[in-house]
């Protein structure tokens, strides 16, 4: 443990269970002395998120559906009442109809395109709109993205398009909020077996491919992502904004399947 986040308070959005990337990040932040609040989507998740929050010493567990403006306002009103100020935000939320996370991108429906962009892209901007009012200079926000934004990955489809837009919005938010000393970055995580990932077609094959072909010859864990989020959210990242940090065992630098990589 360390004291990188001592005296800092922040909100974790997107915790569903102990496999969630949000959980790896929350553990790293709590271990560094941060005080945490959690938001969850839908009553069903409260029975999982409540005990996990308690495990990290937090009793601030608030509902928020990011598809609903009033729900986002409710979350930030409650946080403002409880804390007044906020030092960091983790946005680990994405959604798309899993029937469209297989097969051909060209078949994407208008309804699911709109929904995926709304929940996976706009929600981060909507959250930062409220958060900036509670943030002092030195505050920091992180969202989660994937390499499918930069290159075509099998089955990622409309989520790739959404993540590209999310990464672009990180750059615009970094410029807007940078004037107030607030930093905004994304982490491009390698594939990790979570609830959301289980909706993606052939996900196990994608995991194996990354394991065999990344420079580190392994997949990343939610703890790996947590440690990098700690860097971006703490003062260690004080000069970094608008950045997309790849936490993917180096996969994104590789141009060709390695000669020693096994066939899958
Ligand atoms: P997860 O299923 O544990 O988390 C996804 C979260 O999004 C859940 O907590 C869910 O409740 C929340 N969510 C969905 N719709 C919502 C809504 N309308 N309002 C509020 N919350 C909502 O899966 P995860 O893999 O930890 O996903 C976290 C983030 O990481 C996502 O943005 C995902 O795209 C991204 N990511 C995941 C991987 C991976 O391989 N797992 C890789 C790169 C990026």
Question: Which of 123-127's residues contact partners 24+ apart within 8 Å by CB, and which partners?
Answer: 123/66, 123/67, 123/72, 123/91, 123/93, 124/91, 124/93, 124/166, 124/169, 124/170, 124/173, 125/169, 125/173, 126/66, 126/69, 126/72, 127/13, 127/66, 127/72, 127/89, 127/91
The total number of structural domains in the chain stands at 1
Residue length, the chain? 264
* Atom 34 of ligand 1: nearest residue by CA position: 94
The CATH number that applies at residue 91 is 3.40.50.720
Q: Which of 40, 146, 231, 251 is catalytic?
A: 146
**Is the residue at 256 inside a domain?**
no
How many C-beta atoms lie closer than 10 Å to residue 127's C-beta? 23
Residue 163 marked in a binding site? yes
How many C-beta atoms lie closer than 10 Å to residue 170's C-beta? 24
How far apart are the C-alpha atoms of 49 and 39, rounded to whole Å?
8
Q: Are strands 183-189 and 135-145 parallel, antiparallel or unpaired?
A: parallel
Q: Is the pLDDT of residue 263 over 90?
A: no
Per-residue confidence (pLDDT) for residue 72, from 0 to 100: 98
How far apart are the C-alpha atoms of 94 and 244, rounded to whole Å?
17
Determine if ligand 1 sits within 6 Å of the CB of residue 148: no
Order across the sheet with 61-63: list the strands. Answer: 61-63, 35-40, 9-13, 86-91, 135-145, 183-189, 244-247
The parent domain of residue 156 ranges over 9-249
If you average pLDDT over residues 61-71, what whole number do you get?
Answer: 98
**Is the residue at 264 inside a domain?**
no
Helix (H) or strand (E) holding 90: strand 86-91
**Is the residue at 257 inside a domain?**
no
**Is the residue at 203 inside a domain?**
yes
Q: Where does residue 155 fall: left (phi above 0), alpha (psi -120 to 50 degrees), or beta otherwise?
A: left
Task: List the beta bridge partners of residue 38.
Answer: 12, 61
Choice from 23, 63, 66, 92 to test ligand 1 binding pocket (greatest atom count within 8 A of CB):
92
- Ligand 1 atom closest to 163 (CA): 34
Q: Is the pLDDT of residue 82 over 90?
A: yes
Kindly report, residue by residue over 15-62, the tens digit of the pLDDT. Answer: 999 999 999 999 999 999 999 999 999 999 999 999 999 999 999 999
If you average pLDDT over residues 70-91, what whole number do you get?
Answer: 98
| Chain mean pLDDT for the chain | 97
19 alpha carbon – ligand 1 mean position (Å): 11
144 alpha carbon – ligand 1 mean position (Å): 8
Per-residue confidence (pLDDT) for residue 231, from 0 to 100: 98
Percent of the chain with pLDDT over 90: 97
**Is the residue at 39 inside a domain?**
yes
Per-residue confidence (pLDDT) for residue 264, from 0 to 100: 83
Q: Is the pLDDT of residue 155 over 90?
A: yes
**Is the residue at 156 inside a domain?**
yes
How far apart are the C-alpha atoms of 94 and 14, rounded to whole Å?
8
- Ligand 1 atom closest to 189 (CA): 43
Per-residue confidence (pLDDT) for residue 222, from 0 to 100: 99
If you average pLDDT over residues 197-216, what whole number do you get?
Answer: 95
Percent of the chain with pLDDT over 70: 100
Helix (H) or strand (E) holding 245: strand 244-247
Residue 195 marked in a binding site? yes
Determine if ligand 1 sits within 6 Å of the CB of residue 189: yes
**Is the residue at 224 inside a domain?**
yes
- Positive or negative: CA dihedral 229, 15, 63, 115: positive
How far apart are the C-alpha atoms of 117 and 126, rounded to whole Å?
12
Helix (H) or strand (E) holding 28: helix 21-31
Kindly report, residue by residue over 220-234, the tens digit of the pLDDT. Answer: 999 999 999 999 999
**Is the residue at 260 inside a domain?**
no
Q: Is the pLDDT of residue 147 over 90?
A: yes
How far apart are the C-alpha atoms of 153 and 254, rounded to whole Å?
14
Residue 192 marked in a binding site? yes
- Ligand 1 atom closest to 143 (CA): 32
């Amino acid at each position: 443990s360390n004291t990188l986040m001592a005296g800092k308070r922040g909100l974790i959005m997107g915790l569903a269970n102990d496999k969630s990337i949000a959980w790896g990040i929350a553990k790293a932040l709590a271990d560094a002395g941060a005080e945490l609040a959690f938001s969850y989507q839908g009553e069903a998740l409260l029975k999982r998120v409540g005990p996990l929050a308690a495990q990290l010493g937090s009793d601030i567990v608030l509902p928020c559906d990011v598809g609903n403006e009033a729900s986002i306002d409710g979350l930030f009103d409650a946080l403002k009442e409880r804390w007044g100020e906020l030092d960091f935000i983790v946005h680990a939320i994405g959604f798309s109809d899993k029937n469209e996370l297989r097969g051909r991108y060209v078949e994407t429906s208008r309804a699911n395109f709109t929904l995926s962009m709304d929940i996976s892209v706009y929600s981060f901007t909507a959250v930062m709109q409220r958060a900036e009012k509670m943030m002092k200079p030195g505050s920091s926000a992180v969202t989660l993205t994937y390499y499918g934004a930069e290159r075509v990955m099998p089955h990622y489809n409309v989520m790739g398009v959404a993540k590209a837009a999310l990464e672009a919005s990180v750059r615009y938010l970094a410029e807007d909020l940078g004037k107030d000393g607030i930093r905004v970055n994304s982490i491009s995580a390698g594939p990790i077996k979570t609830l959301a990932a289980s909706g993606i077609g052939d996900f196990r094959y994608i995991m194996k491919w990354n394991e065999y072909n990344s420079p580190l010859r392994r997949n990343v864990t939610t703890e790996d992502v947590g440690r990098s989020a700690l860097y971006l959210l703490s003062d260690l990242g004080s000069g970094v904004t608008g950045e997309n940090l790849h936490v993917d065992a180096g996969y994104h630098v590789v141009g060709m399947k390695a000669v020693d990589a096994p066939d899958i």
